[in-house]
Amino acid sequence: MTFTSMLFLFLFLPISLAFYYLSNDRAREYVLLAISLLFYSLASLPYLGLLVVLTVVNVCLGRGIARSARGPVGTGLLTVGVLLNAGLLATFKYEKLALSLFGGCFSSAVQGNSILLPLGLSFFTFKSISYFADVYSGRAELAEDPVHDALYLSFFAQIQSGPLTRYGDMTLISRGRLDPALFSDGVFRFLIGFNKKVLLADVLAHITAEVFAAPIADLSTGFAWLGSVCYSLQLFFDFAGYSDMAIGVSEMFGYPCMENFNYPYMTESVSRFWRRWHISLSSWFRDYIYIPLGGSRCREKWRVYCNLLAVWVLTGLWHGTKWNFVVWGLGYFAAISFERLTGLPEKLKSPVGRFLYRIPVLFFINFQWVMFNARGFRENLRFIAVMLSRQSNALLDSRAAFLLKDYGCPLALAVVLCFPLVPWLDGKLKDRGKAHLLFEAVLALLVGAGFLWAVSFLVAGQNNPFVYANF
């Protein structure tokens, strides 16, 4: 079950909200924890027992760390907790990578025993590690009831693909009653995310699936560029759409949630791109990997770059177990290191120069998304080579023109929505009374109509799984 399934939309979510708000204040978190476990059982039943056991163990470890403060017992429990969760993630997620490295040693012993990744294990692991670290350092104060800790770790709105909230941030904004403003904002955010996913990401997926399925030897340059641009847009609207829905569901249950995307393709540089894209993940790596290693405070500059290298290798490995993900992470390490060494784009005095610098940045990000594609390292390199050469194929060139004509409207809308047009209009009209009310009414009408249209896509069976559910 996913956020875009009919079961979730018209049964699970409304019934869960009803049970939650009809419960008394004391039982509310217990009810939400039960709802979260039910959601997980419907989405990944074989691993429900693992989730329950791991949640109980992590809560016990977190409580033990809090009681022991920074003493040797607390340090030991912190170490055990990190190793337990990271080791479990490695066991499930990196089995294939280990086999590719050491398969010759024990391939006969493990052949055919491939392990399926439990739903949301990567995000659960990262939330657990931040929970241990924040409790150990005193950045977070534990709630009286351990059920709050268990809910933080397994909250169904965030367990599948984040955002990676922090323990100290998961607090009810209005205990004991429905907050109308937060609830309505949550509904609106959910509808926006739903439209992004179904009307844009899933539609663009038709183009990307066709392009990336074509034999690379037969690709034309134009066909390859069409696929790469649509893939970049698909990834954004797929994951940003999920994040909007996750934030919306969290707010419906009274829990504010951090933003995860901030118009990333408006970025001024490669390094700032990661302050706009998957913000919760990049801030997690900053706070729990980069800064503990010394961050930018190291006296020796080479150590700063070693810290950056560690972060980006781990970021690549977190996203996938194929070598192209490692190369993808190393690509960002190289680009960000280049910007640090040269001082770009800050050293560009002219606004025109800073604007023009964005062009190679966007080209680089687009190439990186091609490398991010899960087909494999060599195939992705060959795809990029086609993009950078002048390959012609009359059949595929005419097919690209047909796809542009057939999908021109959603593609153009996707490009436009990469810009902060709606917030800009909202800011311009905010002090204009009736004009602002009219703007809000038109926006709500468009979002509502889009939702009904998107639901018709689901009824017709046109629905793709979330791309980031694979990570």
Least Cα distance to 224 among 406, 388, 375 occurs for: 388
Q: How far apart are CA 454 and CA 194, in angstroms?
A: 8
Least Cα distance to 331 among 288, 387, 379, 370 occurs for: 370
Considering the candidates 148, 278, 319, 436, report the single residue annotated as catalytic: 319
Which ranges of 264-393 does DSSP label H, i.e. alpha helix?
A: 270-273, 279-285, 301-319, 323-342, 351-372, 377-388
Tokens coding 439: 């703007």
Contacts of 254 (CB under 8 A, 6+ apart): 172, 173, 174, 175, 178, 179, 182, 183
Least Cα distance to 334 among 308, 307, 295, 314 occurs for: 308
Contacts of 262 (CB under 8 A, 6+ apart): 275, 276, 279
Per DSSP, the residues of 220-284 read: -HHHHHHHHHHHHHHHHHHHHHHHHHHHHHHHHTT-------S-GGG-SSHHHHTTTSSHHHHHH
Q: Known catalytic residue: 278?
A: no
- Whether residue 432 contacts residue 177, with contact meaning beta carbons closer than 8 Å, is answered with no
Q: How far apart are CA 188 and CA 441, in angstroms?
A: 12
Active site residues: 319
